[in-house]
Structures are given as C-alpha cells and as structure tokens.
A = this chain, B = another copy of it.
Amino acid sequence: MTARIVDVETIDVRFPTSRALDGSDAMNEAPDYSAAYVILHVGDDGDGTADDAGPQVSEGHGFTFTIGRGTDLAVGAAEAIGRRAVGMSVDEITGDLGGFSRHLLGDSQLRWLGPDKGAIHLGAAAVINAAWDLAAKRAGKPVWKLLADFTPRQIVDLVDWRYLKDALTPEAALELLESRVPGRAEREAYVREHGYPAYTTSAGWLGYDDEKLARLCREAVEQGWDSVKLKVGANIDDDVRRCRIAREIIGPDRRLMIDANQTLGVDEAIEWADALKEFDIWWFEEPTSPDDVLGHAAIQCRIAPVHVATGEHAHNAVMFKQFLQAEAIGICQIDACRLGGVNEAVAALLLAAAHGVPVCPHAGGVGLCELVQHLSVFDYVAVSGSMEDRVVEYVDHLHEHFHDPVRVEGSRYRVPEAPGYSAQIRRETLEAHRFPDGPVWSDDAAPVTS
C-alpha cells in the first residue's frame, strides 16, 4: 500500500477582529484576521492494508494569513496549486520537500499571476506548510526538530537556488550549516530549557487611545516584557506623543520599536525617524513600500544606528537577497505564510545568516506565532546559532483556536513539543468561522464586512 494525497480541502476562515480595532494600524484600518486554510488528506492505494503511520497522521494542516476580503482568492489559489499534489505519494513528498515545493511553484500558467508573489504565492505557502505539517507529524517531531535533525545537505536541498546564487552559493550555505553542526545538541538543550525571546505588539495598535496605550504599556512591563512595539505613521505629532508615553512607562532599559506599516515615502520616513530619535528607537519597521529595496537602503543609511526592519510583505527570497545585498535592513522579518512556506523561509534564514543580520520573524495575525517559533528555534539550533538581538513577535490574539497553541512565559516562547507545525485549527473554530456561512458571520448582530 502506498499512502497518497487523495484530496486537498480548503476553508475560508475569518475572525471579525475589525469590530474591536484589534490589529489596526496606519495602513490596515480594520482587518478581519483570516486564514486560507488547507488540509492535505492522505489515503492509500486501496489494497486494504493499513497505513503504518495510523489515522492520526492522515492529515497535514497549513494556512496562509490574510485580513478579510480577498481570502477567497488565496483559497482559490491554494486549491489550484494543491491540485498539483493530489495523487502524489506521501513518501515522495516528505522524502524531497525541496522538489515538492519546486513542483508546486512551477505551474507555468499559474506562475504568470506572480511569479512568486501575490495570491498565487500565498496559496502555495498554505499548501507547502501543510506538507511540512504532514511530514513532521509522520516523523513524530515538531517541524523545528525535523529541520534541525536534517543534515546540512538536506537543508541546502530544500531551497530553490536559481535566483540566489549570486548572493550565496549552495556550497557556501553548506559550509555555513556544517560549521554549526558541532553546537547543535548544546543549543537544542539550551533553547528547550530557556525558551526563545519574544516581544509584544499588543500594546501599540494605532486604534487605541493614549489611556489604553499607557495602560497596556504598564501591563507589558508588569508582565516582564523587554521590548514593546508601537504602530506609527498616520500623524507625526501623535506619534511623538505616543512614543513619549511609551518610553516614560517602559523606562530607558527596555527596547522600543516603531512600525509605520508602509505608509511613508522615503524622505518622509527619514523625517519621521528624526522626529522620534529622542525616544531611542531600536528598529523602524516597514517605513515605506515593501518593494523598495533602494528606498530602504537610503533610509537605513540615514537613520543608523536605528535599524530598518522589514519583511512581512517581502514576497520571496529574491527580495530578501536584495535587502541584504544592499545593506537596507538591520533586522530581517520573515513571514511564514507570505514566503512560499517553510522552504523559502529556510532560504531567507540562510541568506540572513550569511549576511550576519538577525532574523526577527513577523507574527501575530492568525497562527503566525504558532508557525514562526519553529523557524526561529531551527535558526538558533542549526543556522545562525545565535539568539543575540533576536526576538519573535508575539500578539496575544486567537491562540485559543489552535490545537497546539504557543506557550509564552516570562517574555519567552517555550519550544513547541507536539509533532507537526502547530498549524492545526480546531474543527469547531473552522466550522464557526467559515466565511460566509459560519455562525459567526451569519449572526444578525455581527455585520459581515465583505
């Protein structure tokens, strides 16, 4: 009997977060946090023998994060791309996750809608992430551990090097990974014991008034957070006032970051950074268009020692390659669902490590914290080998909907232990939040925003 992918189930899941302005920022006024959700269903050839791995690993779960309208397009893209997996043997997929990723991304007709960007790439990410969940569950390991147990050669083979070789050759990546092999066991033990550092964005959403901002900053300090991030970019005077409030409450020793969510032009961003300089900003996130490598480089050059940070909207590894080549960022913020799943995230981790730039993943939304913790723990154990100046974003939203939610204690992520990618949303949530027919959306008291 050969276990194969027999079906790709897709679900449009939306949470009505816009009703409370959770997640509001200067660009994203009223998001409904959503997911284009994918379940890869495994069956066998029908010869009557049971799948050795048992029924509990007959599904791989993955998703991409969206913010409301348009989730249907990401779902449609996941369906179109997922079709390419149906009929493939599970061993073929899990035995060559690099080849599987290239196969999914290689549809020459779908590629026209990207390439490697927009809805089609978000859909691919959901399917690829589901394949990693499946592979890890079948291996009985969390994804970070599956990755961290790979040989350097296996890790290098996960990546599509076609457009990256001018910045990092596969041979140089192999050498880097081999140099980290000796310390892997020690670092794994360390991160299991001490966890991985986090920072909170919960305090600083733009829709909150000064009083709520102050209260949330105080709570962040009481809860032991070392770093706090504020949304900025709508009005410079408001932002000076809000940064002053935050800095006074968190004191001089904790880190303060700001995030303009792409609202500014290059020169405006420099002006903004100048106006907020007195508040000792650690990083300035998404100052301008996520496509503007040269713009970020110009900003970074002018506002150092403040770091420019970007990446949550950087759509593929070619963008990260350039941000690093141009010395345009001091902090590299990969996203587990905008990049083409685990494989392309690994490419970004390798590029960042080779350039000596810390990776501080984007998280929040729906389930992004659940995913990126795997990437950062793997990065620490096997790629960069360091936690210095590295923090994973943490937002305390929607974790209750996951089977294996993140555990954050004392401003650190505990290492995930359950097999898989921590990506699985509870069935009752999928049913309640299914758009547009789930009860959350059909309730008269809850106006549908799409």
Residues of A within 8 A of B (CB): 27-32, 66-70, 72-74, 76-77, 80, 107-122, 161-166, 262, 265-267, 288-295, 298, 313, 315-316, 318-319, 321-322, 325-326, 449-450
Are B120 and A73 in contact (CB-based, < 8 A)? Answer: yes
* A313-B69 contact, Cβ under 8 Å, with A76-B76, A108-B30, A166-B266: no
Are B165 and A266 in contact (CB-based, < 8 A)? Answer: yes
Q: Chain B contacts of A120 at CB under 8 A?
A: 70, 73, 118-119
Contact with A69, one of B80, B325, B449 (Cβ below 8 angstroms):
B80
Contact with A163, one of B113, B163, B295 (Cβ below 8 angstroms):
B295
A67 CB to closest chain B CB (Å) equals 5
Q: Chain B contacts of A163 at CB under 8 A?
A: 265-266, 288-289, 292, 295
Q: Chain B contacts of A117 at CB under 8 A?
A: 117-118, 291, 315
A85 CB to closest chain B CB (Å) equals 15
Q: Chain B contacts of A289 at CB under 8 A?
A: 115, 162-163, 318
Q: Chain B contacts of A66 at CB under 8 A?
A: 109, 112-113
| Cα-based distance from A74 to B161 in the complex (angstroms) | 29
Are B119 and A31 in contact (CB-based, < 8 A)? Answer: no
Q: Chain B contacts of A450 at CB under 8 A?
A: 109
A438 CB to closest chain B CB (Å) equals 18
Are B119 and A166 in contact (CB-based, < 8 A)? Answer: no
A82 CB to closest chain B CB (Å) equals 13
Are B108 and A27 in contact (CB-based, < 8 A)? Answer: yes
Q: Chain B contacts of A108 at CB under 8 A?
A: 27-31, 67
Q: Chain B contacts of A119 at CB under 8 A?
A: 73, 77, 113, 118-120
| Extra contacts besides A67-B109, A117-B315, A119-B119 (7): CB < 8 Å | A67-B112, A68-B112, A70-B80, A70-B113, A73-B120, A166-B295, A292-B322
Q: Chain B contacts of A113 at CB under 8 A?
A: 66, 70, 73-74, 118-119, 122
A18 CB to closest chain B CB (Å) equals 9
Q: Chain B contacts of A298 at CB under 8 A?
A: 166
Give the one of A69, A72, A77 with max B CB within 10 A: A69
User: Which 7 pairs across A and B sit closest by C-beta, in order of nearness?
Assistant: A118-B118, A68-B109, A119-B119, A166-B266, A69-B109, A163-B289, A70-B110
Are B166 and A265 in contact (CB-based, < 8 A)? Answer: yes
Q: Chain B contacts of A28 at CB under 8 A?
A: 108-109, 111-112
